[in-house]
Chains A and B, each alone.
Chain A
Amino acid sequence: DSGVTQTPKHLITATGQRVTLRCSPRSGDLSVYWYQQSLDQGLQFLIQYYNGEERAKGNILERFSAQQFPDLHSELNLSSLELGDSALYFCASSVAGNEQFFGPGTRLTVL
């Protein structure tokens, strides 16, 4: 157990819908990262937050957004969902400058 929690574990929804994925980092970790894992794109970095502020952005679609709250948990919002958004979404956390520990992931299926 990495200490990073993600909810829900599985999510099934329809095209055009909006979903929110939640992540709680390890105790003491200020950085939260979001990654997407799909068969065609592999593991890709989406976005990073550090102590509530956006720190780095990857190939995140405009339909996706994220935030980190004062209690350091983070949410990834995916809207206008398309079939191609079906993937495993991981959250990771780290103490600044150290290795990232990953949560169990949320498997999103868009029908």
Chain B
Amino acid sequence: AQKVTQAQTEISVVEKEDVTLDCVYETRDTTYYLFWYKQPPSGELVFLIRRNSFDEQNEISGRYSWNFQKSTSSFNFTITASQVVDSAVYFCALSERVNKLVFGAGTILRVKS
């Protein structure tokens, strides 16, 4: 069965701090896909990144970076030099054979100025 665990319910940081959001997943498939989505206060779900199980290269996009480690079944997300606009709920999700997404419970990130 698929499962995604985001153990951090809520994180508060001060602007310019770095913050890492944890994601641990469970799957029996050898081929799977991992995602991060952002849900700002306005409510929409914004796609951030997709990672394939056979590609363990870490990725950086501006202030965002992702660390994928198959050995620990983790796909962590780091925001460098956080900004108030980063305040949102962040969801990690898993998909087997690219169909339905199984989401974690989400981590609320509050960035204070």
Contact = CB atoms under 8 A, between A and B. Distances in A.
Interface residues of B, number: 18
Interface stretch (A12-20, A75-83, A93-101): A93-101
Interface stretch (B15-23, B40-48, B61-69): B40-48
A61 to B, nearest CB: 16
Contacts of B32: none
B105 A56 contact: no
A111 interface: no
A90 B98 contact: no
B50 interface: yes
B contacts with A: majority SS: loop
A99 B50 contact: yes
What interface size band does chain A fall in? 20 to 34
Contacts of A90: 45
Interface in B87-106: 91, 98-106
Contacts of B103: 42-44
Contact of B99 (A35, A44, A56, A101): A56
Interface in A64-93: 88, 90, 92
Given A100-B47, A101-B47, A105-B43, A43 B91 contact: yes
A14 B100 CA distance: 30
A104 B44 contact: yes
Nearest to B33: A99
Interface in A34-64: 35, 42-45, 48, 55-56, 58
Given A98-B50, A99-B35, A99-B50, A45 B44 contact: no
Interface of A: 2, 33, 35, 42-45, 48, 55-56, 58, 88, 90, 92, 94, 96-105, 107
